[in-house]
Structure 1
């Protein structure tokens, strides 16, 4: 059994039913394992990010702002798009297979001794790797929640909470207040917290957690503003202003490469976060960081747009960007989503925007786990959309010419989406 096979043999709640609770999840296991490995105290400072939407892009922006400010950076994100190595990157480069395998082999016995799950083991290995790679800063993205997440072993330089919406309600709670309380569990005593614009009830829960922890709260919609001057498929150009503590940033005509106003907000959240953590990027770093491209988020491949939107507000943001940035009056929509997502809420958003679709296809895909795709559940909820079709696999999708093909719905469906897009565009 090689290292990767060993990891796959661990209990993996990304692929099986979850028993969520403090008796199952203990972030303290990571602290104890890292201490046993001689990595406590950690030789780096941490930016810790939780939320429902925008965690990945905010994390990527934070890492790039820190890197361009002269620091060696570790970035830990999940899930991956294509390869597991993507989750653990130092200075923008995913961990190499040989290094990863050697790391797993070195700490295999410790992983077994501490009974770490798949995600806990990855978190532990990432933190060890970043220490050995000489990282001065690490950006940690939570997995599903916050309070009981494996990444919540740390006391960060700043806690960051991106927009809260309905997702994983079976485990995190059925209301935005309950979900926000779980996410706000990453807020630590005396540590500043930056929070993206939120629904009122979610913000109230986050504010309560900050107050209980004597944490200075920086709501992005109160400390920052922007005016979008130009929108196009190549991104946006905006004037931005940010005031946080004693630091004021004002930049004219900032080009954010990602398409969608949400990415301007996510970038401002990241900028506020690194400043709150004590790093003040110069204008060159800010402009360069805003120009990065993030795979799987409004990713353009010829006549295809690929996006990993998988909850209601993500779909709303996707449809908004397709109209305001691409200027599309009509396009073909292809959705593959996991069955354990908030399918009814997603369906409401899709039906709401039905006038924008020329054709709609819902498809299922193999997940390789007990977590199944939910095309069969989503399809009947879209019956009022004329001509909506269902395919039991991505390979059965018919792509008609004359319109942009939008494929979306899941991180886990992304490999199928990309393979089909590349094949259709003759790049496979």
Structure 2
């Protein structure tokens, strides 16, 4: 197969959660283990860090990968979903997997794929393991796709587990309470493997404590170890200081990721670095400082409070659940603007009764949709949003919505694009961003 033929095969042949929803979610690890066994168990041939959580796991994964790269370690990075290019999911030292490597993998294992009948995510996870093993990475940062306990990535035994936080998302599959969701995320905690919890949350801390005790895992709450404050922001960086609870002196960092929610992620990353140092990884402060200044350049992270255009200012963000929207709205409030224009679209399975009441009634809305079955039609979104006092027009796609927003916006205004990772992906493509 050629590259595009291979990718088209994966899209067309395999169930995809991003396209098909819950029906594509395989509720056990059988397929992944079968694929790994047939490939010689590549997931056992490299060290790893496993990251789960409702929000922030992507940014945390990229920051940690950047730090390990800066420290001289050959670093794999597996994340999902991608925004512009399938190969974004699988990187080594920031470089996407080669098109030929994807084509060769699918060609070589097509009969196995037909036999096992895995999901799209199961195949891509195993493809990443095979690539990392072939590249002989020193360590791989592996982000879960959905949940943790039954996620395809949960076949690895990492050197460190990280759970960023617990919030409401994918409740139809993970549970309707924070405790049920926490149980699923906590499934990545392995016997004897230390775990860093990004945010201490009273509702779920007992669950993490119990499972860590059962598995003999040391547990660290990053938010209890440090606090991070914004010193100032400029066009290039968010200037931060991090202060350990047991120290007076602060560490200064410049972060090229702009959303203020990155303060929480930084706390998690710094605790993870402490644990990796305890595991024998040589990471000095200069490595951390250097990496945080160029996370986007080192790892290709996109879609996190990212400026797409100026005059008027257009910003996108992939946050798509209740907690994600709270962070987005805090950043919008802190961004000077006259009129707020909101280009938004959502998936059918999102809890709009939790999300929509958070959105500002005074904004001008441009409701849109992406071309996939999971997408909620823009006309339906406008109708539901209207019940919450949110007014605007609906458009058949993101391009039309963005164009309308730009036509109506003045220079001092702010256009925000979001509501779904896939809305952001289309916006990035429209405005000329490259992977």
Contact kept, 8 Å, 2:244 with 2:250, in 1: the verdict is no
Contact kept, 8 Å, 1:347 with 1:378, in 2: the verdict is no
Q: What is the SS of the residue equivalent to 1:144? A: coil
Q: Indicate the residue corresponding to 1:75 in structure 2.
A: 77
Cα distance change on mapping 1:153 and 1:28 into 2, 3 Å: farther
Contact kept, 8 Å, 1:309 with 1:410, in 2: the verdict is yes
Of the candidates 211, 223, 229, which is equivalent to residue 225 of structure 2?
Answer: 223
What are the equivalent positions in structure 2 for 1:70-219 lying under 5 Å apart?
Answer: 70-219=72-221
Of the candidates 14, 18, 22, which is equivalent to residue 14 of structure 1?
Answer: 18
Cα distance change on mapping 1:20 and 1:132 into 2, 3 Å: closer
How far 1:130 moved relative to its partner? 0.5
> Cα deviations across residues 74-114 of structure 1 (Å, max 9, x unaligned)?
10000000111100111101111112101221222333333
Per residue, is there more helix in 1 or in 2?
Answer: 2
How far 1:225 moved relative to its partner? 1.5
| Residue 322 (structure 1) aligned with residue 332 (structure 2) | yes
Q: What is the SS of the residue equivalent to 1:366? A: coil
Determine the C-alpha separation between the residues in 2 that align with 1:349 and 1:233.
Answer: 28
Q: What is the SS of the residue equivalent to 1:132? A: helix
Q: TM-score, normalised by structure 1?
A: 0.89
Of the candidates 292, 302, 306, which is equivalent to residue 299 of structure 1?
Answer: 306
Determine the C-alpha separation between the residues in 2 that align with 1:41 and 1:97.
Answer: 21
How far 1:116 moved relative to its partner? 2.3
Determine the C-alpha separation between the residues in 2 that align with 1:93 and 1:251.
Answer: 33
Of the candidates 343, 348, 351, which is equivalent to residue 339 of structure 1?
Answer: 348
> Cα deviations across residues 286-307 of structure 1 (Å, max 9, x unaligned)?
1122222331111112221011
Q: Indicate the residue corresponding to 2:416 in structure 1.
A: 406
Q: Indicate the residue corresponding to 2:375 in structure 1.
A: 372
Q: Indicate the residue corresponding to 2:319 in structure 1.
A: 309
| Residue 354 (structure 1) aligned with residue 356 (structure 2) | no
Contact kept, 8 Å, 2:71 with 2:287, in 1: the verdict is yes
Of the candidates 392, 401, 404, which is equivalent to residue 388 of structure 1?
Answer: 392
Determine the C-alpha separation between the residues in 1 that align with 2:291 and 2:131.
Answer: 24
Unaligned runs of 5+ in 2: none
The alignment covers a number of residue pairs equal to 412
Contact kept, 8 Å, 1:239 with 1:254, in 2: the verdict is yes
Q: Which runs of 4+ in 1 moved over 6 A?
A: none
> Cα deviations across residues 230-288 of structure 1 (Å, max 9, x unaligned)?
135544212113479xxx89653311221222112212212322331323521221112
Determine the C-alpha separation between the residues in 1 that align with 2:431 and 2:173.
Answer: 34
Q: Larger deviation: 179-188 or 106-115?
A: 106-115
Unaligned runs of 5+ in 1: none
Determine the C-alpha separation between the residues in 2 that align with 1:297 and 1:338.
Answer: 19
Contact kept, 8 Å, 1:232 with 1:259, in 2: the verdict is no
Determine the C-alpha separation between the residues in 2 that align with 1:49 and 1:419.
Answer: 28
Contact kept, 8 Å, 1:71 with 1:136, in 2: the verdict is yes
Contact kept, 8 Å, 2:79 with 2:143, in 1: the verdict is yes
Determine the C-alpha separation between the residues in 2 that align with 1:276 and 1:28.
Answer: 31
Q: What is the SS of the residue equivalent to 2:210? A: helix
Determine the C-alpha separation between the residues in 1 that align with 2:432 and 2:19.
Answer: 27
